Amino acid sequence: MKITQMAGRALPLRGDDLDTDRIMPARFLRAVTFEGLEKHLFEDDRAADPSHPFNDRRYSGATVLVVNRNFGCGSSREHAPQGIARAGFDAIVGESFSEIFSGNSVMLGMPCFTAARGDVERLQTLVEQSPDTVVSCDVESGLITAGPLRIHASLPAAARDSFLSGQWNPTTMLLDDFDAVRQVAEKLPHISGF
Amino acid sequence: MPTLFQKVWKAHAVRTLPSGQTQLFVGLHLVHEVTSPQAFDMLRQHGWKVAYPERTFATVDHIVPTSSLQRPFLDVTAEEMTAALERNCREQGIELYAPGAPGADRQGIVHVIGPELGLTQPGMTIACGDSHTSTHGALGAIAIGIGTSQVRDVLASQCLAMEPLKVRRIDINGRLRPGVYAKDVILTIIRRLGVNGGVGYAYEYGGSTVDAMTLDQRMTMCNMSIEGGARVGYVNPDETTFAYLKGRPFVPHGEAFDRAVAYWRSIASDAGANYDDRVVIDAATIEPTVTWGINPGQSVGISEPIADNADGEALTFMGFARGQKIAGTKIDVAFIGSCTNGRLSDIEEAARVVSGRRVAPHVKALVVPGSQAVSRAAEAKGLDQIFRTAGFEWRGAGCSMCLAMNPDRLEGRQVCASSSNRNFKGRQGSPNGRTLLMSPAMVAAAAIAGEVADVRQMLTPAQV
Ligand code: SF4
């Protein structure tokens, strides 16, 4: 499936270094499926702060999450982006992301756009003032529009190309040429046994 | 002139994918109970088999109870997740080390047992559904933490789709001062370069300080690379590495070992290799270091005040003020363990501090060895008795209070002196719990004093 554009209302979530333990506390990893994770998104932060944006009804139904710097740092748990995707988000816009988090998100078909701090903050402010604003994200150009705002964002080249070509879920691609895999393996001393 | 990273990458590169990414062969895939069940399910849905079951090894660590490793576990979810992994491994022909199963004595934290068994070797690419996979880089491997969908990819194809990383060489030179450990070095590096300073990089650690380190110490450093944003951390293999590997169960013997050493030597970074960035740190400037905040970059030296520009949210959560010193902070819990500092030498360092002393009456203190082999080795040296006599609990192997997926967790606003790697809000199981990261010797000192204390004042001149 090609992923080219997404548009919807947004949820502004301010703060740097929001780690995966905050996004999805470890006790919710006690399960053999990802089902129902969306219910526990930011559960502890939401309990501690009644005005947390995820508690704010004005943002219910949002599909674009707007965050700040180093979002998703910490653990490799896919439970974090799974929870976000299962809560209905199909794109995240932020200043920067941890590599494992953004890589995991690509595998779920959820692009993580990066933009300059000032632009992200303007977008957050706009959405806080007018939660009904539709935010549109274009994968190819990286253009994000929201009311009067036009922001130039970007995706890692490989992520962008894989969304545009529909090959963001690479397993079949990795299995395409298995002879080549075997050849590489045979040449490796730790596989062939020195 | 290539670096180890570039040589290993090239040797494992299968082809360039249409996305521009590299299809990278994975030499060793390590699996644990928390990030794998969904991946095995996806495999089943597609009718795929594991491509290289003989290069895949599994253990249970995150959720296992450490008070008793008797099966079935009293914790129903822990039992269910362990049983699911047993089923998946049986179905796919994967070797599993779990309590109650054959090979149970090899169970432990995945990043402790890989090197311990000699599964981890120089020049390999290694993947595991866990961000601290970077630990294995201490042996000169390129070890990559991945998410569950990528676990599925590696199970199905033994490959990853990835872009190469840049390499930052970090030289640490000089002798560490007494009472200063690898943990203090890596906390200092993260503090200086930032928690996202390593995004896009592999960190190559070297210099005379690292050259003089044991493998356990190098593992502590590489383990926390990810806390600095670097997905990969490594040390070039050297004589210390080869001596560590010799005789371990999965390491070749006899002449094959000599051939292996020759190969391992050849994959180290060339003298004069080109690095994308370089950083030099003077070991003599590092002192025992403790985190005061809610990410591993927010730390101070034990004699320093918390900086004037320290982050307000973190200070409020932790209950600290700018200008305050960390020494003297009352603690409630002391935790020695984790894949950062749950190895034999860590437990030995802590035991030297604890020996002949008692845990402060208000402190709950526990030692959780990183693996069953570490437990056995420590018990053979009588270290368990030193800890028990002092008032510590001596537990079975697992992750335990590092992430509190088992019953070991903080309550309310408790403060924990911890030898683990993350001080994120809620990390140790209580949403308001507070974690102070430090070396195992410093945790031992805090357990005895009942508050954060300078371990250097507890070591006799003969000990330092
Ligand atoms: S000890 Fe902690 S950091 Fe290490 S693997 Fe276990 S949970 Fe993760």
pLDDT digits (tens, 9 = 90+) for B78-89: 999 999 999 999
**Secondary structure element (H or E) that encloses residue A144, with its range:** strand A143-146
Say if the Cβ atoms of B131 and A100 lie within 8 Å: yes
Q: Percent of chain A beyond pLDDT 90?
A: 98
Task: Give the confidence band of B279 by pLDDT, cuts at 50, 70, 90.
Answer: very high
Strand ranges, E, within B71-116:
95-97
> What separation in Å is there between the alpha carbon of B146 and the centre of ligand 1?
14
Q: What residues in B contact A178, CB-CB < 8 Å?
A: 51, 157
Distance CA B394, CA B28 (A): 32
Mean pLDDT on B283-295: 98
The answer to whether residues B275 and B300 belong to one domain is no
- The residue of chain B with its CA nearest to that of A175 is B157
pTM over 0.80: yes
Query: What residue spans define the domains of chain A?
Result: 5-165
DSSP single-letter state for residue B53: G
**Is residue B462's pLDDT more than 90?**
no
Which residue among B28, B147, B196 sits closest to A100, beta carbon to beta carbon? B147
pLDDT of residue B69: 87
The answer to whether residues B459 and B326 belong to one domain is yes
The answer to whether residues B14 and B157 belong to one domain is yes
- What does the mean pLDDT of chain A come to? 97
Say if the Cβ atoms of B231 and A100 lie within 8 Å: yes
CATH number for the domain spanning B294: value is 3.30.499.10
**Contact by Cβ (8 Å): A83, A54:** no
Say if the Cβ atoms of A177 and B14 lie within 8 Å: yes
**A75 three-state secondary structure:** coil
Query: In this predicted model, what pLDDT tens digit does every residue of B140-164 receive, in sequence order?
Result: 999 999 999 999 999 999 999 999 9
CA B413, B288, B402, B341: dihedral to nearest 10 degrees? -160
Nearest-Cα distance to chain B for A175, in Å, is: 6
Mean pLDDT on B272-293: 97
The answer to whether residues B303 and B435 belong to one domain is yes
The answer to whether residues B187 and B93 belong to one domain is no
CATH number for the domain spanning B176: value is 3.40.1060.10
The answer to whether residues B107 and B180 belong to one domain is no
Interface test with A, best of B56, B82, B130, B148 (most A CBs within 10 A): B148
Distance CA A161, CA A140 (A): 8
Query: In this predicted model, what pLDDT tens digit does every residue of A116-153 receive, in sequence order?
Result: 999 999 999 999 999 999 999 999 999 999 999 999 99
Distance CA B89, CA B36 (A): 11
Q: Put residue B123 in one of left, alpha, beta given phi > 0 → left and psi -120 to 50 → alpha.
A: left
Is the CATH number of domain A5-165 3.40.640.10? no
The answer to whether residues B30 and B177 belong to one domain is no
Residue B258 lies in a domain: no
User: Could you list the residue range(s) of the whole structural domain that residue B397 is in?
Assistant: 289-463
Number of structural domains in chain B:
3
> What separation in Å is there between the alpha carbon of B399 and the centre of ligand 1?
5
B221, B253, B284 - which closes a domain: B284
Residue B260 lies in a domain: no
Interface test with A, best of B15, B131, B154, B259 (most A CBs within 10 A): B131
- Ligand 1 atom showing the smallest separation from residue B32 Cα: 5
Q: What residues in B contact A15, CB-CB < 8 Å?
A: 313
Residue B256 lies in a domain: no
**DSSP states along B174-230:** SPPPTT--HHHHHHHHHHHH-TTTTTTEEEEEESHHHHTS-HHHHHHHHHGGGGGT-
Distance CA B337, CA B359 (A): 17
Length of chain B: 464
State ipTM: 0.94
Q: What residues in A contact B118, CB-CB < 8 Å?
A: none
Distance CA A142, CA A154 (A): 5
pLDDT of residue B464: 61
Mean pLDDT on B170-195: 97
**Is residue B461's pLDDT more than 80?**
no
Distance CA A87, CA A41 (A): 8
The answer to whether residues B385 and B433 belong to one domain is yes
Query: In this predicted model, what pLDDT tens digit does every residue of B376-430 receive, in sequence order?
Result: 999 999 999 999 999 999 999 999 999 999 999 999 999 999 999 999 999 999 9
Residue B134 lies in a domain: yes
Q: For chain A, positions 124-163, list CB contacts with chain B under 8 A.
A: 156-159, 161-162
Q: For chain B, positions 33-92, list CB contacts with chain A under 8 A.
A: 34-35, 37-38, 41, 46, 48, 51-52, 55, 62-63, 77-78, 80-81, 84
pLDDT of residue B19: 83
Q: How far apart are the first and last CA of chain B?
A: 40
B134, B162, B190 - which closes a domain: B162
> What separation in Å is there between the alpha carbon of B296 and the centre of ligand 1?
15
- Ligand 1 atom showing the smallest separation from residue B421 Cα: 3
**Is residue B440's pLDDT more than 80?**
yes
Query: In this predicted model, what pLDDT tens digit does every residue of B16-27 receive, in sequence order?
Result: 998 889 999 999
Query: In this predicted model, what pLDDT tens digit does every residue of A49-90 receive, in sequence order?
Result: 999 999 999 999 999 999 999 999 999 999 999 999 999 999
CA dihedral over B159, B160, B166, B167, signed as positive or negative: negative
